[in-house]
Amino acid sequence: MELYDVMRVTFAAREFTGDPLPEETLGKILDNARFAPSGGNRQGWRVIVVRDPATTRALADLSGMAAKRYAAQVSNGESPWNTIDPPGVDAATIERTPAPARLTEPIATAPVVLVLCLDLRVVASVDQDLDRIGIVSGASIYPFAWNVLLAARHEGFGGTITTLATAQEPKVQALLGIPKHVAVCAVMPLGRPVRTLTKLKRKPVAEFAMRERWGGPSL
């Protein structure tokens, strides 16, 4: 597929046929994804390839804890897990809210799950002293994650970037033996999608690109 075509049809795949993702194909996906940019070209990403059903189920269950809050906030008309507005739902409401299966079960049912990690010792987190949640570190891992999905789509497979398990990072670290200086950035189920989307809904450029300054004329 041409680059622009792959970019326009790489969707968040959450349902898989059960076909295996061969080790050779996965190796090819990662071999191409590694050319993603990273801060200082330090390439601090690390990937744990998980195929054991007991481990993928444990990762799904850990994701479920954050999924409950996600669902409770959505039901309350909130933008879930945002760092600007405090949640309007209490702990009891979150606890009794079921975790949506669509957010957790892909991790348990995919033929392979990638746990994407980042060695924080090699990341320049230049926004660490600002009075907000740091996001700059993501520039050294999420381009790689996106490359994985692009390469998977090219090979006839698919997946999605899930981050709910990161809310339980210490437990994920304990489960997989990840050192404390290594951040858990995403849990990515991969497999052959049950169906393939060819038309994605995205905002037009004029809605997010502006000239010269915030609020300037649309591009």
State yes or no: pLDDT of 2 exceeds 90: no
At 184, which helix (H) or strand (E)?
A: strand 182-191
Task: Specify whether the CB–CB gap between 123 and 44 falls below 8 A.
Answer: yes
State yes or no: pLDDT of 1 exceeds 90: no
Alpha-carbon span 124 to 135, nearest angstrom: 11
pLDDT digit string (tens) for 139-197?
Answer: 999 999 999 999 999 999 999 999 999 999 999 999 999 999 999 999 999 999 999 88
Helix, strand, coil percentages for the chain (3-state, nearest 5):
45, 15, 40
CB neighbourhood size of 53 (10 A): 10
State yes or no: pLDDT of 126 exceeds 80: yes
- Specify the pLDDT at position 198: 85
Query: Which residue segments constitute the domains of the chain, with CATH numbers given?
Result: 3-207 (3.40.109.10)
Q: For the full predicted model, state whether its pTM sits above 0.85.
A: yes
pLDDT digit string (tens) for 56-108?
Answer: 999 999 999 999 999 999 999 999 999 999 999 999 999 999 999 999 999 99
